[in-house]
């Protein structure tokens, strides 16, 4: 298959490498012409994924028209707050109906839309099918061929199974699902919990605390996700528990890194000023907080992270507030 990967950040580059390794032809679109030029000249993306050759099946461009013309399958791997704009800019260049795969883990702030909803809104009848890929997939490990498993979800089962076949390889195993809502929400909400896990590390707290946070965080994610139409088994699977454990414990997690810096006393403004990466959990904390309020779902960890990120609460105060909440049954 020919696939246009839209977004040449770390994960977009890793997905381009993965798709190429599985035998597909890939065009990788970079917003920055200098990044595209460097990829073309060096065969790698040192700005975002150093040490991972792209292979002969992948070529780069900064021309949206070229990326749109290359394939009727777009693999969108751009930050959630740019997803609508990039897809809108792509639309005039699309030739007929288009299939979209999302590798974006976020929820749009203003609309509270998931990427599936944005895709349908922007493309309308031009959207032939939509799928979302998520799971425990650190970009550099995936690109290097470390054995990795993820899930591809679509309400079009044939599309999901087709993608499962064409993207899987001995180093990358995909499971298919019909639960688009659950996979999208799991991949997004876990980033907020990962920031909280980083806060614990920054505060110097131990394994007991982190295990409790991950477990209660999964409960919080599942409660909201099922209310919005996701399935329980999705949150217990690769997109839910699998990705949550990875991002809450792995040193490569961008969201956890932000939390560590918060726990050590840096402000969000200071972190964002120096950051060279996007941590989706920062913006998702706003969206998740609003979704919880809209649907009357109690989300204590998300609430405290929102306070720490946007209301000036100290991380230690947030942990103390969580520990002194009223006592209740575990399943409550």
Q: Are residues 63 and 189 in the same domain?
A: no
Residue 329 lies in a domain: no
pLDDT over threshold 80, residue 275? no
Mean pLDDT of the residues in the chain = 96
Residue 242 lies in a domain: yes
- What CATH number does the domain containing 121 carry? 3.40.50.720
Average the pLDDT over 116-127 and give the result.
98
Is the distance from CB of 260 to CB of 217 less than 8 angstroms?
A: no
Question: Where in the sequence is the domain holding 149, given as residue range(s)?
Answer: 2-178
CA 264, 304, 273: angle at the middle one, nearest 5? Answer: 45
Q: Are residues 159 and 192 in the same domain?
A: no
CA count, 13 A, side-chain hemisphere, 257 = 13
Q: Are residues 24 and 173 in the same domain?
A: yes
Number of domains in the chain: 2
Residue 57 lies in a domain: yes
- 105, 190, 283, 286: the catalytic one is 190
190 is a catalytic site residue: yes
Which of the listed residues 178, 211, 236 is the one where a domain comes to its end? 178
Q: Are residues 19 and 146 in the same domain?
A: yes
Residue 331 lies in a domain: no
Q: Are residues 153 and 209 in the same domain?
A: no
pLDDT over threshold 90, residue 276? no
Average the pLDDT over 160-185 and give the result.
98
pLDDT, tens digit, 9 for 90 and up, residues 71-114: 999 999 999 999 999 999 999 999 999 999 999 999 999 999 99
Single out the residue of 113, 117, 147, 153 nearest to residue 133, CA to CA: 153
CA count, 13 A, side-chain hemisphere, 60 = 26
Residue 332 lies in a domain: no
Distance CA 178, CA 233 (A): 12
Alpha carbon 30 to its chain's center: 18
Q: Are residues 67 and 152 in the same domain?
A: yes
pLDDT value of residue 273: 87
């Amino acid at each position: 298959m020919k696939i246009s990967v839209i977004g040449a950040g770390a994960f977009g580059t890793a997905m381009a490498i993965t798709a190429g390794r599985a035998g597909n032809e890939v065009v990788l679109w970079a917003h920055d012409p200098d990044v595209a030029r460097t990829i073309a000249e060096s065969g790698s993306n040192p700005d975002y994924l150093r040490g991972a050759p792209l292979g002969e099946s992948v070529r780069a461009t900064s021309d949206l028209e070229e990326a749109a013309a290359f394939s009727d399958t777009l693999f969108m791997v751009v930050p959630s707050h740019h997803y609508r704009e990039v897809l809108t800019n792509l639309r005039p260049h699309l030739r007929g109906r288009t299939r979209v795969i999302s590798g974006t883990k976020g929820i749009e702030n203003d609309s509270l839309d998931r990427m599936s909803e944005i895709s349908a809104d922007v493309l309308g009848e031009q959207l032939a099918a939509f799928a979302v890929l998520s799971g425990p997939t650190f970009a550099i490990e995936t690109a290097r061929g470390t054995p990795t498993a993820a899930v591809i979800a679509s309400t079009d089962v044939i599309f999901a199974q087709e993608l499962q076949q064409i993207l899987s390889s001995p180093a990358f195993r995909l499971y298919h699902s019909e639960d688009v809502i659950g996979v999208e929400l799991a991949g997004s909400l876990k980033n907020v919990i990962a920031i909280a896990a980083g806060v614990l590390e920054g505060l110097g707290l131990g394994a007991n605390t982190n295990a409790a946070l991950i477990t209660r965080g999964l409960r919080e994610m599942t409660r909201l996700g099922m209310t919005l139409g996701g399935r329980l088994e999705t949150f217990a699977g690769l997109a839910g528990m699998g990705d949550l454990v990875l991002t809450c414990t792995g040193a490569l997690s961008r969201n956890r890194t932000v939390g560590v810096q918060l726990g050590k006393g840096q402000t969000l403004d200071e972190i964002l000023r120096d950051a060279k990466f996007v941590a989706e959990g920062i913006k998702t904390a706003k969206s998740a907080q609003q979704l919880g309020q809209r649907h009357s779902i109690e989300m204590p960890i998300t609430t405290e992270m929102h306070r720490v990120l946007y209301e000036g609460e100290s991380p230690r105060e947030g942990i103390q507030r969580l520990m002194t909440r009223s006592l209740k049954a575990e399943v409550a």
